[in-house]
Amino acid sequence: MYNAVGQVPVVHTLPESGPVRGVTSLADEVYVLRGKERDQVEVEVYDDSSYRLQRRLTVPNIRGVTDMTSCEHYRCVYIADGGVDCIHRLDVGLQGAVTQWAVNDEPQGLSVNAAHNVLVTCRDVRKIKEFSSHGDLLRELTLPDDVIHPWHAIQTRNGEFIVCHGGRHDAIHRVCKISVDGRHIIKSHGGQRGPDIGQYDRPVHLAVDRPNNEFVFVVDFNNRRVTLLSPTLDYIRHVVSRDDLKWRPDRLCLDTHRRRLYVADNEWKDGKWTAGRVVVFSV
């Protein structure tokens, strides 16, 4: 499906405004999570054909958003809050009703698996926690010792996990395929931090094309690009480069139905996030 030549075209850019802390798609709409002010964030909802703004949703009592994902089955959006170590659930079909549950560790990345459960990557303790849609803790996996500072994890159809890891001061930055029990690295891509092909400098977010053989898209933050890997984590090509971006890529979402890749492009200035936008690519 994906060849080794060429980058993917830009089809639209959503407006610049506050920093984008998450992006996801649900029910023919695109949800963009923006940091607005302390204790409050705003979710912008766009039509996924015209990219016109449909409405804004305010989510109160949030201290430090880190990611967002969605679930078609339950028609809801999940927001990770690292300020109070919890997950906020926003129900799309219930006039924006918001509930929350505790993670008991700082949440970093979010994804939803085939069982419609929420996977929460807890970076500082090297764990993946699986919760039901209403916050029941179903299991907790501790990742291998050499998977340091994991940012994001996605579960494949056969139960294995794709995990990206590597913090600012870590020597190793890579993407790993982890066994079902979370104990063993099956395959990895990357290694020593760097800018070359086959290297990363803070791989911070993932998207997996689950209906189509599970190709992997990787946000490479400091190298300002998105890398495409095969289902066996072999390098295919860079699908997004720094020429496509104004600032730094931070989050992404793959809409497998419309074949759109949404990449959050954020400005980091004077030690803080100052602005952001979402760039839409056709894949």
Which domains does the chain possess?
A: 21-142 (2.120.10.30), 157-283 (2.120.10.30)
CB 252 within 8 A of CB 261: yes
> Distance (Å, rounded) from C-alpha 138 to C-alpha 120?
12
> Over 60: is that where the pLDDT of 94 sits?
no
CB 167 within 8 A of CB 124: no
pLDDT bin (cut points 50, 70, 90) of residue 132 is very high
pLDDT at 61: 79
> Distance (Å, rounded) from C-alpha 127 to C-alpha 142?
5
What mean pLDDT is predicted for residues 70-89? 94
pLDDT at 3: 60
> Over 80: is that where the pLDDT of 154 sits?
yes
Q: Which of 37-41, 84-88, 170-174 has the lowest mean pLDDT?
A: 37-41
> Distance (Å, rounded) from C-alpha 176 to C-alpha 283?
23
CB 278 within 8 A of CB 30: yes
Six-digit token pair at 49? 């054909």
> Distance (Å, rounded) from C-alpha 19 to C-alpha 276?
4
pLDDT at 8: 84
pLDDT bin (cut points 50, 70, 90) of residue 41 is confident
User: Which amino acid makes up residue 69?
Assistant: T
pLDDT tens digit sequence for 159-172: 999 999 999 899 99
> Distance (Å, rounded) from C-alpha 71 to C-alpha 118?
9
pLDDT tens digit sequence for 223-245: 999 999 999 999 999 999 999 99
pLDDT bin (cut points 50, 70, 90) of residue 95 is low
> Over 80: is that where the pLDDT of 1 sits?
no
pLDDT bin (cut points 50, 70, 90) of residue 57 is confident
pLDDT at 176: 98
pLDDT at 96: 65
Q: How many helices (H) and strands (E) does the chain have?
A: 0, 24
CB 87 within 8 A of CB 120: yes
Would you list the DSSP string of 213-250? Answer: TTEEEEEETTTTEEEEE-TT--EEEEEE-GGG-SSEEE
> Distance (Å, rounded) from C-alpha 126 to C-alpha 147?
7
Q: In b/e form, how buried is each residue of 179-211, taking b as 16+ CB within 10 angstroms?
A: eeebeeeeebbbeebeeeeebbbbbbbbbbbbe
Non-local (6+) Cβ contacts of 123 within 8 A are 106, 108, 109, 149, 150, 151, 167
What percent of the chain has pLDDT above 90?
Answer: 80
Q: Which of 21-25, 35-39, 120-124, 274-278 has the lowest mean pLDDT?
A: 35-39
- 3-state helix, strand and coil shares in percent for the chain, rounded to the nearest 5: 0, 60, 40
Mean pLDDT over each residue of the chain, to the nearest integer = 92
> Over 60: is that where the pLDDT of 37 sits?
no
pLDDT bin (cut points 50, 70, 90) of residue 212 is confident
